Every structure is written in structure tokens, then in C-alpha cells.
Chain A
Amino acid sequence: MNDVLVIGAGLSGLVAAWQAVENGRSVRVVAKGWGITHWHAGCIDVLGYYPLDNPEPVVALETAVSRLATEHPQHPYALIRLDNLQTAIEAFKALCATANYPLHGSLTRNWLLPSALGTFRPTCLAPATMIAGDLTDNTPMLIVGFSRWLDFAPALVADNLTHQGIQATHVTLDLPSLRQRKIVTALTIANLMETPAFRAELVNALKPYLSKAGRIGFPAVLGYTQATAVHQTLQKELGRPVFEIPTLPPSIPGMRLHHILLHTIRQKGGMVLEGLEATAATTQNGRITGLYTSAATRHRLHHAHHFILATGGILGGGITTNYTGEITETIFNLPLSTPVNRQSWFRRDFLDPQGHPIYQTGVRVNQQLQPLNENGQPIYENLQAIGTILANWEPIRERSLEGVALATGFIAGRGKTVTSHKTQTTSTSN
């Protein structure tokens, strides 16, 4: 029997599993598929916009997170302490540095980095491959795209940056190695980038455009597992700083983080099983005793001492909805805080800065991340919920998804809070 069973292998689930193995706990992760890592920008966004109606990005991050925690006592950041977030960030940076894929940044201030639309993306931690795109620096840029691949539009990036005061030009390269392929994806290019021949082809093709460029921006496809080496080599060969810009999914920089976490968990004895969808649980005396999963071939029952629910919210699939307006947590049928009826799920405009009320739906938890019933009491002593399944926040509008996933995954995986709290819970319930 494992110490910990993590349900879900998105960012929060993998962080929980990593912390669990780091702290000597035996871990099994069961997941229907991978999560946000294959979609996101490959950065750790902690808080980009606050309050939501303020169009200016958060700069002083620590102050903004503290203010948010005070003003929104139900927000996940209000439930976890700021020092936990700080510790989680430092530990994650250390993990990535050890894996030779360093992340830069801190809670002191947000980076402002270019998006694939040429907007300014606020983020807390960015890989070394991205930080030369820093938009507080106005060194002229050359933005490079590839003609066979439409998931990155260099003209849009450059023209929007120029419009906002960062001098940028663009070029779309028609490289023979890509031209001869019928299908070019982000991964095709990322893998090719790890070969010296392709890099030479790229550098040669770029030479005529380099004169005015103080730095060069590429779509985030500069290698997959060898990204740091590819990035450094290109900087050397091009003689100027090089940076990556996140593209339409699938996200190569996100997959790098996924790869690092997965590799670490497995290396330290954790087991990650993909393709197993959790369907139901067995319970006894206020504890979860087992979890059923289904796969193509058979059902299976997994036992563990602790269970960590990291199945995600509406996007991840941990919460489902139907046409009658029912909203359900899929495994434990946990109570959810939800807007009252289907008509009040949405606002008029897609891009409404406040976001749509339906997405605030989630599991309410206490400071130990235990799901609560309507009376505010933990439902199961040995269950914690982490990541986007949590209630009362708008991770996408705030740009806080990775920050909350990292911090809550870290706390749950480490397990110390739970252990120290166990006696507390017992004493209060007596």
C-alpha cells in the first residue's frame, strides 16, 4: 500500500507527487491523461492581474498576493501562507536548475515577456530560454517564424511590440528541412533544433537579417530535452541574446517541465500511471480507503493512506456539468460552491475582465486543503484537494494558475501540515 495516491497528473498533481517522493513517502499517481503542462506557457504565473479590472499587470508580486489574500479570504492564496508559496517556488527553481533547465524570477517582481500576439505577459518564473525577451529592456528585437508552421505569427508579434514601444522586426524563414516535410509541428521543430545540421541551416538563413537586431525572439521550440544547450549554442552562434516566446499548444516549454517532474518522480521510486481514469472511491469512517480506476482492459482498486485530488476543474475534467445545469465533482461527489443556475454561469463578453461565474465553481477546502462539507468540516480526514479544482478563484483571469497549482501541490505532497494537523482535527471533533 502506498503512502500517497495522487489523482491527476497536471502541474499540481505532479508537484505533489514530486514533493511526496522527496519527503520519503511512497507515491502512486493515476491519471486519465496529462494536464495543463502541455498547454500552458511553460512559465509559473503567480499573479498577473489584480484587481481584475485593472488592465495594468502586477509588478510588485509579493505585495499584490498579500493584498489578494486579505481581500479574498476564500481564495486559495488566502488559505496557504505566503511563505509556503515562497518555499514552493524556491524548491521548484532548485529542481529545474538541477535538471539543467534553470528558471529565473522571484516573488519580488513579475517579468513582462512577449506573448505570441506581441502582448506583454506578466509572469513570476520563466525559463532561462525566455528571459532575454524582458520587455522592460528596449533593445531592438528580431522575431523569427517558420513558413510551414502557423502556430506562431512573427509579424503579429513584431508589429504589436513596435506599437507598444519595443522596436521589433520580423522574418519568416522558409527552411529546406521544413519545406520537405508534409507536417510540421512544434515538436518536429524542437527535435530538429537538437541537431547541429538544422541549427546551422537556421543560423545561415538568419544571417542577412541580423544587423539591426539586438536580440532574437523565436517561438518556444528551441529543443525539447536539450533546450538549455540549444539556447546557449544559438546565442553563441548568432552573437546576441536569444529568447523563446510561448506558442499555441502543444507547449514545448510546458512539456519540458512535465518531463522534469515525471523523470524526478520515477527516479525516486514514484509510480505514474497514465491512461487510468479514476471513477469512484471506497470510504470507511470518514476516510478514503480505496480508489477505483478504469482503463481499456479492466477496473482496478488502489489503496493508500492518503489521497490527493488533483483532477482539475472544468478544464481538467475534475468537475463536469450537464445541460440541466448540474455541476458534479466526478470521483467523490464532493460538495461544490457553484453559481445558482445556468443563466448566471456567464457574462456577456468572452473577454470580460471579471471572468465567468461558472469557473469559480470548485471544492472548498480548509488551510490543510481538506475538502469541506456545507458546515465547514473536513469530509474525509485523509483527502486533500489541490490545483484548479479548488473553489473561489479565477486562475485564468488572474494568471495565477501555476502559482496555486505549485503551492498547493507542494503543501499536499510534503504532507507535514497534514500530519501535524491530524491531532488537531481529532481534538476538535472530540
Chain B
Amino acid sequence: MRTYQTEVLVIGGGATGTGVAYDLAQRGFKTILVEKRDLTHGTTGRYHGLLHSGGRYVVKDPKAATECIEENRILRRIMPHCLEDTGGFFVTTPWDDPDFGDRFMEACQATGVPCEEISVAQMLREEPLLNPKISRCFRVPDAAADSFLATQCVAEAARQYGAEVLIYHEVIRVIREGDRVIGVVCHDLVKDEEVSILADMVVNASGAWAGKIAHMVGLEVSVMPGKGVMVAANHRVVNTVVNRCKMPSDGDIIVPVHTVAVIGTTDQRVADPEHFAIERWEIDLMLEEGDKLVPGFRQMRMLRAWAGVRPLYQETKVADTRDVTRAYTLLDHETRDGVMGFITITGGKWTTFRQMAQVTADRVCEKLGVERPCRTHEEPLPALFESDRHTANGYHYLGARLTDIESHKSYGDLVCECELATRAVVEQAIRDGNAHTLDDIRRDVRLGMGPCQGGFCTYRVTGLLHLWRQTPVTESNVALRDFLQERWKGLKPVLWGAQLKQERLDEFIYLSVLNADHLPGEKASRLGPVMYEEEVNNE
């Protein structure tokens, strides 16, 4: 069995785990991170992409609101190229309590979230598609975040400080020696072999999966996976993050992210972070709520739906997951359970990942008896791609990729026309990103995320992957089939109208023209997508 020895092992390649690994590596610890799939595969890659101003929580969860605005300011400083400075609105629609606006303003002041009321006329000048029946509008410093890119940048920074990031390494056992956790055994999904990693300290940063990992140690950690469904519309219907000015509820936000606009979200408690359905009522609700903010939203073309699971930690059981605090939790299992060498960080939200990493790394220092200060709030994160260098006041902006293509005159080198992913960035993702699946490349370069959902680029990128990896052709074949299935997974819940037509074209290309359903080799691999559960048909 392959064996590693390290000082700190971090479990989980989401925003939190990657942040912890970076922080620890920066403080000089020998660090290994393991992730069972690709980075951001869990909750980080499946949220709506909001950098919270804190506005969402000012009334209901002031502690979370303050954390958000503090981190908002820091992230704008250290990773502006991963953020789009869209700004945010909180708007009172005819369906919302008209008095909530005043409470909202007061709570913003109390928590330190900057907030300014603007006229509805001004709001409509900036966002002409918003419902003209909106009665009040408050401006807050929300922004749109690219959680894929941000996590890649943090991981790259961690690597630069010497950390090792092992993707497709799934923890299958935790090694315990008496009252001490001394390491884990992973299944390397790519090589299909077991790997043991011994560490002085193991950090469980597996988010919604934290309960499962703790269970392997024999500990009870109650993390409620709160499922949230999101739908991406084919257009950037707004250029500003738009929130409903009311208590948090389903379908209360539209976030413009890159070329699309994402509406979210529902909140359903699920038993298992891995197995759940996207239900029709959830999609219908998103369309209905979207229509209240942007009249006509329902009739627009939807590209895709997905669901993520929020890691909501609570020691006592609460029925409605919305009432669980959004603030994070650090569990020291030595004081809590008498088990040494093991701590859990869970809860929280993407916006506060850096702070969560900081307190976790502080605790690791304490446990290992060293004093090394955190510097992650000071040091800017690296840019990974050439186009990340095209910015608006340091921030990412929608035209960045086009500017890059125009400045390099690389019009003919597009692998994905929808998302303007060039051959150069795809090849960089294959080589440097050590991509195993087409979905890994998608997360790195946003391939196949536009209107045709991989109709054209799937073939092209399979060709490039095959060329660069030099693996047996059956591996390229299954990579193609896995990706077709992965795109299908998110299309299925929103297939009607123009998108159904598009999908039929994709079928025509991959079956009639390319005969991909008769490729030699496996039909699906263990690196392929985990499908949503089929909804029970009640009609």
C-alpha cells in the first residue's frame, strides 16, 4: 500500500478544506489534502455563486451577517479576479412585507453591513427587467463569486507553499490508535488502490459529509444536509445580485454568474448528502419566484438545474433547516469526545471559508504546540489563467475572456463557443490541472456550461484529452460518455422548449453522427456522475 506521512491531513476539497490546507501550508506545516472526487465537487461547486454582503442574515442571524461583511472585504482584497463586483439589491416586491425594509435597514446598521436605499426609478435604470411593482430597493455590497476558480487558486497557493492535493482519494477508514486518530486509509479512485496517510493531526473539513467522517472515528457529529436547488437561466437577466427583502426563504435570490443568471434556492433536509432528488415542485417554485423579481422569467430558457447540500451543524435537533445558524462550528474532539489528533470544521458558508480556515489552523497550531500567525487575509492569491489578468479594477468582468481572445486573435481556437474556452486553456487544464474527467476540465475552464451544454465541445475536448493523456482509447471513450451523462444529469429537470430542442440536437450529434452509444469499453466509470434520485411519479 502506498503510504504518506504528513503533519496535517485535511479531509475535503471544498472551499473550507482547501482554505485550511492553504492556511496550514502557509504557516509552514507539511500538509496533505484529500478529496474524494475533484476539488469543489461537493457543496462548493454547487451553490449559486454569491459573495454575501451579509444582508441576507442581518435580521435573522446577526452573527453570520457580521462574519460575512468582514470576509467580504477580505476576499475582495485577496482574490478580486475570482469575483465580479456586481453589487446587490434587496427589493420589496408586492408579495413581501412592506415593513420589513425598515427592520432590514436598522439591522444592517447594527451589524455593520453597508446599505443605502435607492429609488425604484434608479433601480429600474440599472436593472430594467426587474418588476416595476417593486416598492423599495436597498443597495448592499454583494458580489458574484466563481467558486470553482477561487478554490483552484487557493489550492494552487497551497501547492506553492508545499501542500500536496490528492483528488479522487476517498477516505474509507480512519486509523485510530487508542484515543488518538493517527491517519486515514483512502481509496484512490483513479488507480483503484488503497493509500494510507499518517498524520499528527487530521482535520475533518468535509462539510455536509463531516458526520460520515466522524462516524468512521466512532464519533457522533450531527450535520444536517440541507438541500438547495438552483436553476440557471440562459441569459444574464440581471447584472446585479437581486435579493428579496424579507426573511430568508425559497427562491429569494438571482445571482448573475458569468454568462448566466442563477436563481436559488430551496432548503430541504435530506438524510444523505449524496442521494437526493431534484423535485418538480422545486423547479416550479424557482420559476414562480423568479417571475416575481423578473416578470417573464418563467418563459425564459433554462439551461440547467442542480442541487447542493448545505452543511448545517446543530447539537440539538431542529425541524426546519432554515432555523439552523449559518455561522460555522469548530469541534475539538479532544475536549468534546476525548479523542486526540482530530478536529472537525463544518457549517458556515462559502463567503466565510477563509475565516473558518483561519480558526481551524489556529486550533491546529495550539494542538501541535506552535505559534504561527495567520497571513491568508494579507496575501493575494495567484491568477491561474491568462484571461484572469483582464480585469475591471482588479475584479473579473464578463468581457474578460473575449478581451483575451481579441488580444491574442485566437478566434479560431475555441473549444467551447458558449463559454469562450480556448484550446490553450483547455490544454492547460488537462496538463497542469491533471484532469481525469471532462468534468474536471469543465470546473477549471467552464467548458460545456453554456446553452448547448457540451453539444460541440464534448467531442473536441475528448479529442484533446486523448491526445495529451496518451491513455488507452477506452478511457477516453468512457470520459466522453461520463460527461454526456453528467451534463444530462442537470439538464433533465429543466428540459422543455428551446433547451429540449437543443438537447435533441446533442442526441442527434452523439448518436446519429458519432455513434457514441456504441463506443467500445465501459459504459460508465467510477469517476462518472452520481445521478440525482428519480423523483417518485405521483401524477
Contact = CB atoms under 8 A, between A and B. Distances in A.
Interface of A: 36, 39-41, 45, 55, 57, 115-121, 148, 150-151, 153, 155-156, 159-160, 162-164, 181-184, 246, 248-249, 251, 313-315, 317, 320-323, 325, 340-346, 348-351, 353, 358-359, 396-397, 399, 401
Contacts of A346: 492, 495
A343 B535 contact: yes
A181 B409 CA distance: 11
Interface string B277-294: 000100010010000000
Given A116-B514, A153-B460, A160 B535 contact: no
Report, nearest first, the 6 A-B pairs whose CB atoms are least far apart: A153-B463, A350-B488, A159-B473, A119-B515, A183-B412, A315-B504
Contacts of A315: 501, 504-505, 508
B412 A181 contact: yes
B271 interface: no
B507 interface: yes
B513 interface: yes
Given A155-B463, A323-B496, A348-B534, A184 B412 contact: yes
A341 B513 contact: no
Contacts of B488: 349-350
Contacts of A45: 512
A148 B462 contact: no
Nearest to A340: B539
B507 A321 contact: no
26 contacts: A115-B515, A116-B513, A117-B480, A117-B515, A119-B515, A119-B516, A120-B518, A150-B415, A153-B464, A156-B473, A156-B476, A159-B473, A160-B477, A163-B474, A248-B514, A315-B508, A321-B496, A322-B299, A322-B496, A325-B496, A342-B496, A343-B537, A343-B539, A349-B485, A350-B484, A399-B511
Given A323-B496, A351-B481, 15 more contacts: A40-B512, A119-B514, A119-B519, A153-B463, A153-B466, A155-B466, A164-B520, A182-B409, A248-B514, A314-B504, A322-B497, A323-B299, A341-B539, A343-B280, A351-B510
A397 B485 CA distance: 16
A151 B412 contact: no
A119 B466 contact: no
Contacts of A323: 284, 287, 298-299, 302, 496-497
B110 interface: no
B517 interface: yes
B385 interface: no
Interface string B29-56: 0000000000000000000000000000
A117 B519 contact: yes
A160 B500 contact: no
Contact of A156 (B411, B463, B492): B463
Given A39-B505, A156-B476, A184-B412, A151 B514 contact: no
Contacts of A321: 496-497, 500
Contact of B512 (A160, A344, A399): A399
Nearest to B409: A182
Nearest to B513: A41
Contact of B511 (A313, A341, A396): A396
Contacts of B299: 322-323
Given A182-B409, A343-B280, A351 B485 contact: yes
Given A55-B518, A346-B495, A163 B412 contact: no
A39 B537 CA distance: 35
Contact of B531 (A115, A348, A396): A348
A351 B534 contact: no
B512 A159 contact: no
A346 B462 CA distance: 26
A237 B210 CA distance: 67
Contacts of A343: 280, 535, 537, 539
Interface string B82-114: 000000000000000000000000000000000
A341 B539 CA distance: 8
B118 interface: no
B175 interface: no
Given A151-B460, A153-B462, A156-B462, A351 B496 contact: no
Contacts of A399: 511-512
A164 B474 CA distance: 11
Given A119-B519, A317-B501, A401 B512 contact: yes
B463 A41 contact: no
Contacts of B190: none
B466 A159 contact: yes
B500 A314 contact: yes
A71 B488 CA distance: 31
B509 interface: yes
Contacts of A184: 412
A162 B476 CA distance: 14
A425 B388 CA distance: 69
B467 interface: yes
Nearest to B302: A323
A161 B319 CA distance: 58
A351 B523 CA distance: 9
A41 B511 CA distance: 11
Contact of A119 (B409, B505, B518, B523): B518
B516 A117 contact: yes
Q: Pick the most buried of B287, B466, B511, B519: most chain A CB atoms within 10 A of its CB.
A: B511
A100 to B, nearest CB: 25
Contacts of B367: none
B467 A39 contact: no
Nearest to B492: A346
A351 B501 contact: no
B462 to A, nearest CB: 7
Contacts of A40: 508, 512-513
A41 B512 contact: yes
A323 B507 CA distance: 21
A246 B415 contact: no
Contact of A314 (B460, B501, B513, B523): B501
Given A248-B456, A344-B537, A348-B531, A156 B466 contact: yes
